[in-house]
Structure 1
Amino acid sequence: MNQEPIVEISDVSFAYQAELVLKDISFDVKRGEFLGLIGPNGSGKSTLLKIILGLLTPQKGTVKLFGKKVQEFSHWHRVGYVPQRAAMQNFTFPITVSEVVGMSVRKQEKSAVAQALRDVELFDKRNALMHELSGGQQQRVFIARALATKPELLILDEPTAGVDIEAQVNFYDLLKKLNQDLHLTLILVSHDIDVIVNEVTTVVCINRTLICHLPPAKFVREDYLKEVYGKHVKFVVHGH
């Protein structure tokens, strides 16, 4: 794996008015990593994603994308983003899968749309209406929309919220394939500890501060779980 850092987060702190949300967060995301970002509700995960995407400016510290400070970064086609399903539109109006994926590219780049749909194994659904798809299939469409610009970094915020278990398993299999076959660097925010441990190559735990940044095998220790989620949390490994 190329150890070049794609994302560099250095001493980042952020507050909403007087409420401190993030304090002195520092870690890198290396090229080719599949990084899982985990923490309880209100831990600052979504805020950190917004800072990485340049949507919020930290009061302290810096974020770099591909070696450039995020405020100076202009090559946003290199970064794909899949937001939480809860924040997405309810597709009750007639729009096709191809039309949704094509929102991220110019009209003349139809080949990019077709390839992105092949990458997520939905090319045969290209003319289907969005409301005809299952929740898991809709999430694949949103990933395809992000992939159509041929990004090197893909950021996903709780992508399986509201998706059934079977669709979740298939979804994470797809992410592993994208990471391994397309050499995509992934940042995945999830509450699912099992997924983080079983699927990713690196775990970052935050709860306003950085709790740990380490391989998943080392994360499976109750003291980390207690520090992040409280003393009553137990880790249970489920079959995949």
Structure 2
Amino acid sequence: MPLKAITLTNLYYSFDSIFVLEDINLEIPEGCYLGIIGPNGAGKTTLLRLILGIIKPQRGQVLIYGVTPEEYLKSEPIGYLPQRISQTIYEFPFTVEELVRSGHEKFKKDNIEWALDVFKISHLKKKLIRELSGGQRQKAFLARAIACRPRILLLDEPTTGIDPYSMDELLQILESLNQDFGITIVVVTHDIATFAHEAKCILCLNRKVVCLGEPQRILKDEYMGMLYPEHTVFPHKNA
């Protein structure tokens, strides 16, 4: 039986006394490739931040391999790609190599070369980030996220702003990271159709767990109607 990489128990989180996550109970086994889908304001990004320990739940518990995020991060890294990061800070005068190196304070040169090679951007390592295309920038930030050789990789909308060719290449690389290197991957996405073919499991989130299971079972009209009900008002668009 695989180890539990991430365990969420009775998790609640609120903004201004309005809960954006309620009673979340979830176990993510080691080696899982999980896609998280849901409408704006459903709490998807907030959930990733709780797993990372950036914010703490008002109620409930987050465990990474049986310990709190704070304890886990003292000895092990978690790879993380924030939402739209490659579109917001690419004007910084970093080369690709410098950017990837900045991903972890205890970087090793071999890991930097490995991450660049995984995303097929070794030939770009001396180029400035601002000189790259959108797809190349996204690969550079993803290489930064894995340069610490994490066991867990959290991605928030990784396909935003990239062309179809780069998207296909990126999806192949993520599949390899999961299958060949055993990295547990959690992806927040609005690109439901694409990740239905990639993820092993889909979590439908709308402040609560709507449903969880294999993509072919979850992505049916009955569940999509529950996940995206008409005339629903969400208090925090970017939650």
TM-score under structure 1 length normalisation: 0.90
Contact 2:80 2:145 in 1 (8 A): yes
Q: 2:45 aligns to what?
A: 46
* Cα shift at 1:86: 4.9
In structure 2, the CA distance between the partners of 1:78 and 1:108, relative to structure 1 (3 Å rule), is closer
Contact 1:12 1:24 in 2 (8 A): yes
After superposition, where does 1:30-69 map in structure 2 within 5 Å? Answer: 30-69=29-68
1: CA distance between counterparts of 2:73 and 2:172? 31
Contact 2:178 2:184 in 1 (8 A): yes
After superposition, where does 1:58-97 map in structure 2 within 5 Å? Answer: 58-75=57-74, 77-86=76-85, 89-97=88-96
After superposition, where does 1:131-142 map in structure 2 within 5 Å? Answer: 131-142=130-141
2: CA distance between counterparts of 1:18 and 1:172? 38
TM-score under structure 2 length normalisation: 0.90
1: CA distance between counterparts of 2:150 and 2:81? 12
Cα deviations across residues 129-159 of structure 1 (Å, max 9, x unaligned)?
Answer: 2112111111111111111111000000011
Cα deviations across residues 84-121 of structure 1 (Å, max 9, x unaligned)?
Answer: 12576432343211010011245872222111111111
Contact 2:38 2:227 in 1 (8 A): yes
1: CA distance between counterparts of 2:28 and 2:171? 19
Name the aligned partner's letter for residue 34 of structure 1: Y
Name the aligned partner's letter for residue 34 of structure 2: L
In structure 2, the CA distance between the partners of 1:148 and 1:87, relative to structure 1 (3 Å rule), is closer
Q: 2:226 aligns to what?
A: 227
Contact 1:85 1:160 in 2 (8 A): no
Name the aligned partner's letter for residue 165 of structure 1: P
Structure 2's unaligned 5+ residue stretches are: 232-239
Task: Compute the RMSD of aligned alpha carbons.
Answer: 1.9
* Cα shift at 1:60: 1.1
- Alignment of 1:159 with 2:158, yes or no, is yes
State, as a whole percentage, how many aligned pairs show the same letter: 35
In structure 2, the CA distance between the partners of 1:185 and 1:173, relative to structure 1 (3 Å rule), is same
2: CA distance between counterparts of 1:144 and 1:93? 17
